[in-house]
Structure 1
Amino acid sequence: MMGFGQASQRPSPTDTFLSSFISLRPRASQPALNANSPSNTFALYSRRVLGPDGLLQAAVVVRDDTILAVVPRDQLPDDCPCDDLGDLIVAPGVIDTNVCCCEPGRTDWEGFEHATKAAAAGGITTLFEMPVGCHPATTSLEALQLKRLAADGQCHVDVGFFGGLTPHNGREVDALVAAGVFGIKAYLCPSGFADFPLCSSQQLQRAMPLLAEANLPLLVHSELPAGQFAVTSDRRSYQQYVGSRADQWELDGVAQMAGLCRRFGCPVHILHLSSAEALTMIEWSIDEGLPLSVETAPHYLLFAAEEVADGDTRFKCSPPIRNRENREKLWRALESGLIDTIASDHAPFPAEMKSLDEGFFTTAFSGISGLQFTLSAAWTGAKRHGTRLDNLRLWLSDYPARLYS
């Protein structure tokens, strides 16, 4: 497991790819491309291959499932088949680190086969599956084994698994870590699922020394409610729904996790950050050198509260989509490095669970089904903001690989 570690180790835009990515710099260890190429070798040529130094004209040479080299086209052997993709961009696959596939137990919601097909259609080559939304929740070794069996033979992309932390499974965390999960997820607020209750600070503290020793991240839904949930008088009002999950919840949640991160040295990953109010606390934590990383989601970068009509519960998620000013601050935080990654936070609830007919935000399940559109949504937002493609590569491929390599 390799996390970000200290702030000085956080990757910069000039870093090279990890070995699991296409290397666009010459390497002595690259195999020679000789004539008489094996029949299972081919090349993809594009005038826009995206690598660490931006776009270049190159041919990507592939044998079986392995990328052998990235070279100028005139260095290809004459007998190597080459597809000319013109100006289509060839880039590293997207790594989506926040996906619920809902299997085992809830395949009427989705399941590995359909989720991974959607991922592949959207340019995602690896996804990391959350321990919630399935039944049973992935909070024990037995549940993890059931999930792996359910996924076996169904996946069209690579899949990694997270385990879960609840008030009742502290003794299971060691077994989950030993079994190879890539991190442990916890909630600071109700998850919406009876088998995945929130954790108190004390319960988090009992698990963090083990995760620190294993250098595995604690992934946290970092809304920390202050008192009881606000009562909404208009069940269809989106603005009232947003007001019921205040920015302060995220600020308090991030503050609590930064403090625990400091105390235990455990890597902490803030999931799906929505509120820009927490960015100052995040900046302080990074400047201090804490092993804290942050993701946001495409829907927070593409939509704004002012654009959501009352009763349109398709947009209900938690934390909520906030206003335009908040959205612009999230983009600036991405570009400055305060936010590391973009992930879908994919939650594929059936239409009847989203209260589409009534339009009641109070009863609709919270979550947006967007796995197939992680790349296209992020790209659309990036174009609107004049963001370089190099940055999309970092947020969607490079940095996620570094977090969970």
Structure 2
Amino acid sequence: MVFDLVIRSRRAVLPEGERPAAVAVRDGRIAAVADHDAPPPAGAEVDLGDLALLPGLVDTHVHINEPGRTEWEGFATATRAAARGGVTTLVDMPLNSLPPVVDASALEAKRAAAAGRVHVDVGFWGGAIPGNVPDLGPLWTAGVFGFKCFTADSGVPEFPPLTPEGMDEAFRAIAALDGLVIVHAEDPAALTEPASGGYADFLASRPPSAERSAVERVVRLVERTGVRAHILHLSAADCLEPLAEARVRGLPVSAETCPHYLTLCTTDVPPLDAVSAEARPLDAVSAEVPPVGATAFKCCPPIRDAANRDALWAGLADGVIDCVVTDHSPCTPELKRGDFATAWGGVSSLQLGLPAVWTAARERGHSLRDVVRWMAEGPSALAGLTARKGRIAVGRDADLVAFAADESFTVVPGDLAHRHPVTPYAGRALTGVVRATWLRGEAVTGAGEPRGVLLSRP
């Protein structure tokens, strides 16, 4: 067999572990995984030497916001950042765009906005909000990967949270479809208004008990309805106990966390008036836009203390947390101004997730194989894409990443490709540089013609 491409690496991260290998590509799929020095014929050959070869990452938690709030982020910019960060597949969240994806017509509007503009492969979540249970079946038939709901205020009025009674109704409907519900789990009864604009009061307004109470409610509903459920952006390590207990009981509940919860903690958040030169938003929106500074760290649920961060790492190691995804949630720099009581809550890290996690993981003794399990295999399994994505294995899409695992760099916001280069990682030293990304065997940088496709649930 003549292959289209062969990529050789002395550090190929395969399902069975890391070893030297030659990965052969034909018609966009991995056709063979051979010994490093095997001589398969190829139209082109790339020798990475000691650069690691990873499967393309899968990020199932990305807010692209187009159409309707394209000034926050758009398909072209988000997927360009993804490609540069080694993410070859992402699944877009149903809210922050207008209209939100809560019925089939809104999904069509989303697909129309994305068509021909994506540099990586993109799928879509649907939404579960009050009153749209009749729309869930048509959305599922139209190919969404599952349904997102909130237990507390979402931050945008067009995507309201479900009441406990509404959750029960929606969960039963989704279970009847054999669908998946993904939950922003914070108990509104445990949330308060911040007493001031400082970080300490913002943190106190969203305590770990709010997350745990909501997670426990989800677990009870899973037991009652039989639905498959996934907890989004877990920040509170207090939730690990009920999640582990649910696993022991065989309940279909999974969970994710995010790079910012694993790599940052409360002591990293600077005072509101402290802004480094690197933190200045270097976008072209307006030369008058002032620095964002500390509020770049604001997200909901919040970044917590170092002991909590350590416990999240333990949850990953134990398998209680299944995957790590970015929750890339951008907005305009203007919306990040102000203080922690008023600024938009969201961290933009789509391009930086891999080096951020790898930097912390290697310091804790984890391997690249672990990172691939958390950031490629786990998310692809969540979305039902394991037959195509997330592994270097015969038959999978040839989505691959050349990664300089020992090379360090300093995050400069102006180097980021998402629409507004605002990030809490500004000026931070990270280890691991994405040198090249291939989508179905074709090199992608985000600079050329978009090659991504729009995915539907298998």
- If the length of structure 2 is used for normalisation, what is the TM-score? 0.77
Could you say which residue in structure 2 is the equivalent of 1:9? Answer: none
SS in structure 2 of the partner of residue 313 of structure 1: helix
Cα shift at 1:403: 1.5
- Matching residue's letter, 1:191: S
Contact 2:9 2:20 in 1 (8 A): yes
Given the alignment, which residue of 318, 339, 344 partners 2:326? Answer: 344
Could you say which residue in structure 1 is the equivalent of 2:361? Answer: 382
Q: Deviations over 1:220-262 (max 9, x none)?
A: 0001122562441x31x11111001011100001000000001
Cα shift at 1:315: 0.3
Could you say which residue in structure 2 is the equivalent of 1:11? Answer: none
Q: Deviations over 1:327-369 (max 9, x none)?
A: 00000000000000001001111110011xx4x1111011011
Cα shift at 1:207: 1.6
Cα shift at 1:109: 1.1
- Matching residue's letter, 2:115: D
Could you say which residue in structure 2 is the equivalent of 1:60? Answer: 23
Does 1:258 find its partner at 2:219? yes
> 1 CA distance for matches of 2:336 and 2:240?
30
> 1 CA distance for matches of 2:258 and 2:191?
26
The structure in which a higher percent of residues are helix is 1
Q: Deviations over 1:289-336 (max 9, x none)?
A: 000000000000000012212321000000000000000000000000
SS in structure 2 of the partner of residue 91 of structure 1: strand
Structure 1 stretch displaced more, 324-333 or 386-395: 386-395
> 2 CA distance for matches of 1:328 and 1:110?
32
Given the alignment, which residue of 47, 50, 64 partners 1:87? Answer: 50
Given the alignment, which residue of 241, 246, 259 partners 1:298? Answer: 259
- Matching residue's letter, 2:151: L
Structure 1 stretch displaced more, 87-96 or 221-230: 221-230
Cα shift at 1:387: 0.9
Aligned residues: 363
> 2 CA distance for matches of 1:73 and 1:228?
55
> 2 CA distance for matches of 1:77 and 1:316?
50
Could you say which residue in structure 1 is the equivalent of 2:268? Answer: 307
- If the length of structure 1 is used for normalisation, what is the TM-score? 0.87
Q: How does 1:350-389 map to 2 (within 5 A)?
A: 350-355=332-337, 358=338, 360-389=339-368
Does 1:323 find its partner at 2:305? yes
Could you say which residue in structure 2 is the equivalent of 1:5? Answer: none
Could you say which residue in structure 1 is the equivalent of 2:66? Answer: 103
Contact 2:299 2:345 in 1 (8 A): yes
> 2 CA distance for matches of 1:60 and 1:370?
29
Higher relative contact order (CA 8 A, sep 6+): 2
SS in structure 2 of the partner of residue 248 of structure 1: helix
- Matching residue's letter, 1:399: G
Could you say which residue in structure 1 is the equivalent of 2:107? Answer: 144
SS in structure 2 of the partner of residue 75 of structure 1: coil
SS in structure 2 of the partner of residue 68 of structure 1: strand
Cα shift at 1:76: 2.1
Could you say which residue in structure 1 is the equivalent of 2:80? Answer: 117
Q: Percent identity?
A: 41
What runs of 5+ residues in structure 1 fail to find an aligned partner?
1-32
> 1 CA distance for matches of 2:236 and 2:252?
20
Q: How does 1:189-228 map to 2 (within 5 A)?
A: 189-226=152-189
What runs of 5+ residues in structure 2 fail to find an aligned partner?
273-293, 385-458
> 2 CA distance for matches of 1:90 and 1:333?
26
Q: Deviations over 1:9-45 (max 9, x none)?
A: xxxxxxxxxxxxxxxxxxxxxxxx4xxx26xx12111
